[in-house]
Chains A and B, each alone.
Chain A
């Protein structure tokens, strides 16, 4: 029951809908520094965890402790948004969810899809439960990422994975003619979904840049909790 309540309250589900991501696809959360890309990505991952799926969170700058803290915080915010929940139930559910995600931290120049592949292959070989989603936080899209994206795309098809990226844009840069930030524009054909976060007064506005009919839909979320305002 609690899982269902939380899924309904998830800002991601409310913004993108419950079937917001097909397997083997890429998604992106774009904003300039400090607006809340990572925390939004964490909410995306939590909504997958609540569906009973496994998630790998790869960060190119956070430590493991910090990743775990972000998930805990994201989960607590979600719980608080539902209203009163038996704390024991909430803590039991967290105990169930926490082992289903695991964080990997590495540096950008040593980030290797091969290591992820080795790991996934070993899971498959042992008939163990496969992750359904990978979060890649911190990849620098100002540089040419085509090789890494190619390899990740292969991984996504081979193992039926959805992969969500954070993408940092810059304050001074204007959108391209197609209506995308420069970072996304170069690679937009690879991405099935993309959302753009920008501060709007004391809230954060989420603009859907790529998602079929939903394009240009706008939603406001609370910066402190990332819950719908």
Chain B
């Protein structure tokens, strides 16, 4: 691995589903000689793309797990993480962005900036990841890279600046004009592998000159040298422009826009050049860690090979040789035989086999130096763990992980499946923090939780394929919550003094709505409740938050203030006060007008204009609120908020209402109170459920 970090790039490829990320990665691997044959994502040869290494991914034509791969371009190392485009797998995107230094944001030249591009952009902002844009599919009918660049500006607020213009569009796409060198680039050979540099065609000369001027004018903001050259009318060199664009890109103040068609093998090589020229090397980026030995002080990590090692495990995979842990080294280096410490639990581990991944194939290496991405075998850890050299106690800042919104019961069909299922669940929960599982105490059913129907569907499918665990799934269930809407007092005495050891405790105070999850405030004075019983009271109140008394959904947003109480010298105990607190909570809670909250999803439908009205109708039928409908070319984009409980099976309904021409994405937006009529239906269903049990 290269130790000259100026020649290393850790990049991701992110975009909306079906924008062609995986196809682009495939072409990059082909041009960098990592693969010698091109397979299409949904190709007729059935081989699938190399990056889609899971069977399921190849079958569905989507990328589920981000596969890390490595390639070389012009003697530079590029580590690429291919990230999933579907919103249900957003945590994968988040984890990838956490460890990347730069991103290629792939946009479709026909559909432009779509909902997932907006989500990815927010994540990039959160982790301050610089990006360059690639407007793909310029060979498609309706392609318009200029419109996409404008959308980048209008919808995402990027300072998008064209670095190229297309030579022809749609089926006449022949190549691109590079506005920095002012040359036309054509891609010849069976797979576009020969880049042929020619003069700009005469009919494009004026347009190219105009766009170059616009570009130079815009990027001069980031270079005094370039501004001076413009003002003094000196020669503007390529180096000046490149350096200005690089500075603007790394500071996230501008987004250079490239274009082409990965599928038609057009303009992928110039994009690779752009990755090297404009995206940051590991030494250009500041990474922070928390030092637990110094009260969580933030520490800037440097890509110094001689400093103690700090590395982050960002992805786990179960391979044939055991657990494969993808890791990014930020400081120091990992060598075979090194002893490192998992800073989460303080456990010492020895580094065994180190590898560099190329999608499903692997290459053994001896060392992963700072600034590089690799993988190691045989280390038991969870995703997001930090590994450090002995002597330091750093951890990388935790990733933003969302709470699951949907659950599903799963029942194994036989004993063998049961064993395999628990193995699979153990693995999946380690791999994906948004995928959770627990056993329902009452029904003894195993419940899985996740971010959407597809998210859970994929895991159930993986259980079958990878672990041979056949399971029967129940109806998806929405993660409802309960909360209170007003302040209410309680005054409860727990008294049991009939034979044997007695129990006595009285609690009095009030419950009220609260912004956070739960808060306990103790205002008892004068020893009315001895201080040693206060923790028991808190435990009793907090315990009630797990399940609401009526509907048994988790309770959130309650502050309990304990004002007064009474105790008995002999009969009071921790247990008695816990029971009193439970009774007090119940009394106050029922008086505080409890309501049910449900998860509301942001649903974005993209539909041909002729179906706009019927799609809006579908949203209305589902208690949805339409936020707006925007026309983009031949398509309309309808943005709305719909309760998750109304969205089950929506893809089938949408398909039949639009002759299969519309698609939608869905992501969690917020929790909102359910209307009374729906609350009544939920209560009724819950009661019927109870009766059945």
Contacts and interface: CB of A to CB of B under 8 A. Distances in A.
Interface in B422-450: none
B609 A117 contact: no
B620 A103 contact: no
A57 B631 CA distance: 14
Interface stretch (B258-266, B344-352, B611-619): B611-619
A102 B628 contact: yes
B629 A103 contact: yes
A67 B631 CA distance: 14
Contact of A115 (B609, B621, B625, B627): B609
Nearest to B634: A110
Contacts of B639: 64
25 contacts: A63-B155, A64-B628, A65-B155, A68-B628, A102-B628, A104-B628, A104-B630, A105-B628, A105-B629, A106-B631, A112-B609, A115-B609, A115-B613, A118-B612, A118-B613, A118-B614, A119-B613, A119-B617, A119-B620, A122-B613, A122-B616, A123-B617, A125-B617, A126-B617, A126-B620
B563 interface: no
A114 B636 CA distance: 14
B620 A123 contact: yes
A69 to B, nearest CB: 12
B612 A115 contact: yes
Contacts of B609: 106, 110, 112, 115
B195 interface: no
Of the candidates A67, A107, A119, the one having the most CB atoms from chain B within 10 angstroms of its own CB is: A119
B162 to A, nearest CB: 21
Contact of A102 (B617, B618, B626): B626
Interface string A117-152: 111011101101000000000000000000000000
A122 B628 contact: no
A102 B620 contact: no
Interface in B589-638: 609-610, 612-614, 616-618, 620-621, 625-631, 636
Nearest to A128: B620
Contacts of B613: 114-119, 121-122
A68 B628 CA distance: 9
A99 interface: yes
A125 B617 CA distance: 9
Interface string B358-382: 0000000000000000000000000
A195 to B, nearest CB: 27
Contacts of A121: 613, 617
Nearest 6 Cβ contacts at the A-B interface = A118-B613, A122-B617, A64-B628, A106-B631, A119-B613, A115-B613
B252 to A, nearest CB: 21
B154 interface: yes
A60 B140 CA distance: 27
Nearest to B625: A99
B636 to A, nearest CB: 8
For the complex, would chain A's binding face be called helix, strand, loop or mixed by DSSP majority? helix
B643 to A, nearest CB: 13
Contacts of A110: 609, 631
B642 to A, nearest CB: 12
B627 A64 contact: yes
Interface string B67-108: 000000000000000000000000000000000000000000
A44 to B, nearest CB: 19
Interface residues of A, number: 26
A122 B114 CA distance: 26
B418 to A, nearest CB: 44
A176 B621 CA distance: 48
Contacts of A115: 609-610, 612-613
Interface in A76-123: 99, 102-107, 110, 112, 114-119, 121-123
A59 to B, nearest CB: 10
Nearest to A114: B613
A117 B631 CA distance: 17
A122 B626 contact: no
Interface in A15-54: none
A118 B617 contact: yes
Contact of A63 (B618, B625, B630): B630
Contacts of B610: 115
Given A102-B626, A112-B609, A115-B613, A122 B631 contact: no
B628 A67 contact: yes
A63 B620 CA distance: 22
Interface in B230-267: none
Contact of A122 (B614, B625, B629, B636): B614
A123 B614 CA distance: 10
A67 B627 CA distance: 10
B339 to A, nearest CB: 54
Interface string B52-63: 000000000000
A93 to B, nearest CB: 16
Nearest to A58: B629
A127 B38 CA distance: 54
Interface in B214-235: none
Given A99-B625, A121-B613, 18 more contacts: A63-B155, A68-B627, A103-B627, A103-B628, A103-B629, A104-B628, A104-B629, A105-B628, A106-B636, A110-B631, A115-B612, A118-B613, A118-B617, A119-B616, A122-B618, A122-B620, A123-B620, A128-B621
Contacts of A114: 613
Nearest to B637: A64
Nearest to A102: B626
Contacts of A103: 627-629
B629 A126 contact: no
Nearest to B154: A63
A106 B628 CA distance: 11
A216 to B, nearest CB: 38
Contacts of A122: 613-614, 616-618, 620-621
A89 to B, nearest CB: 16
Contacts of A63: 154-155, 630
A213 B331 CA distance: 81
Contacts of B616: 118-119, 122
Interface in B142-167: 154-155
Given A99-B625, A115-B609, A126-B617, A107 B631 contact: yes
